[in-house]
Amino acid sequence: MTDQEWRRPVSALGADLERVSRRVETVAANASRAADIAGEAHKVIGVLSAQIEGIARARAAAGGGPGEPAAVVSWWMVDEPDEALRLLQGLAGWLDAVYLRYHDAQLSGCWLWHGEVVEELLVLHQAWYDAFVSPEATSARAVDWHDRARPGVVRRIKKALSGCNLTRHKPTGPADVVPPRAPTVDAVPDIADWWAATRGRTAAPSPTPAQLAEERAARDADYRT
């Protein structure tokens, strides 16, 4: 076989080897890209897992556990011991997790004895959930919670608890008081009938002597205190 005849198959083998080498390089590059993609996907999965875990912790702090949070409720309307316990336990956890992280949010030891304070905190708690955790949470709600809701509650609670402590709630202590009641409620039927009939276009029913005496007694009591 001549040299020319040998060169043709050798040249063909060389060309085949070059094509195979290029294919190997392509496969290697694809494998490298696949590894990079897999690495990025792993990072994304880690981020999503952390976000899901954070939402679960936030829901637990909101008092609803893994399920839905408690609906908006007024402390003044709670009359079931189990419901009161659930609300206070959820609120206490949220106070530690969120509310008390702000330096201006302070609570005296008697905060639980002040119904108006519990009411304020329950509503703020729910507003926080709506702003940060619920499916309808938005940055605008979060800003509103920081800018308006939280500072307002903090200001009113400070005023309500100013100068108060647990010893003032002992029997006969200055904070051991009977909650005030709406005055002159015996006038409700007369006022209701008058308003439904006239919408206030005529003179209202005259106060009775008993109602006038009740008001005088209340004024005298306020003056003495």
For the segment 140-157, the average pLDDT, to the nearest whole number, is: 97
Q: At residue 157, does pLDDT exceed 70?
A: yes
DSSP 67: S
Contact 101, 146 (CB under 8 A): no
C-alpha to C-alpha distances, 225 to 73, 216, 218, nearest whole angstrom: 33, 15, 11
The chain-wide mean pLDDT, for the chain, equals 79
Burial zone of 162 (CB within 10 Å; 0-12 exposed, 13-18 middle, 19+ buried): exposed
C-alpha span between 74 and 194 (Å, rounded): 31
- 3-state SS assignment for residue 162: coil
Q: Within 13 Å and on the Cβ side, how many CA atoms surround 174?
A: 5
Q: At residue 7, does pLDDT exceed 50?
A: yes
Is the dihedral angle over the CA atoms 32, 34, 38, 41 positive or is it negative? positive
Q: At residue 51, does pLDDT exceed 50?
A: no
Contact 115, 76 (CB under 8 A): yes
Contact 202, 209 (CB under 8 A): no
* pLDDT level of residue 45 (50, 70, 90 thresholds): low
Residue partners of 93: CB distance under 8 A and separation at least 6 = 60, 61, 63
| Crossing angle between the packed helical segments 115-132 and 81-97, to the nearest 10 degrees | 60
Q: At residue 102, does pLDDT exceed 90?
A: yes
* pLDDT level of residue 83 (50, 70, 90 thresholds): very high
Residue-range domain boundaries for the chain: 75-169, 185-224
Provide the pLDDT for residue 128: 95
Provide the pLDDT for residue 9: 58
Residue type, position 153, single letter: V
Beta strands in the chain (DSSP E): none
Q: Which residue, among 30, 34, 89, 85, has the nearest Cα to 62 in the 3D structure? A: 89
For the segment 185-204, the average pLDDT, to the nearest whole number, is: 88
C-alpha span between 81 and 113 (Å, rounded): 16
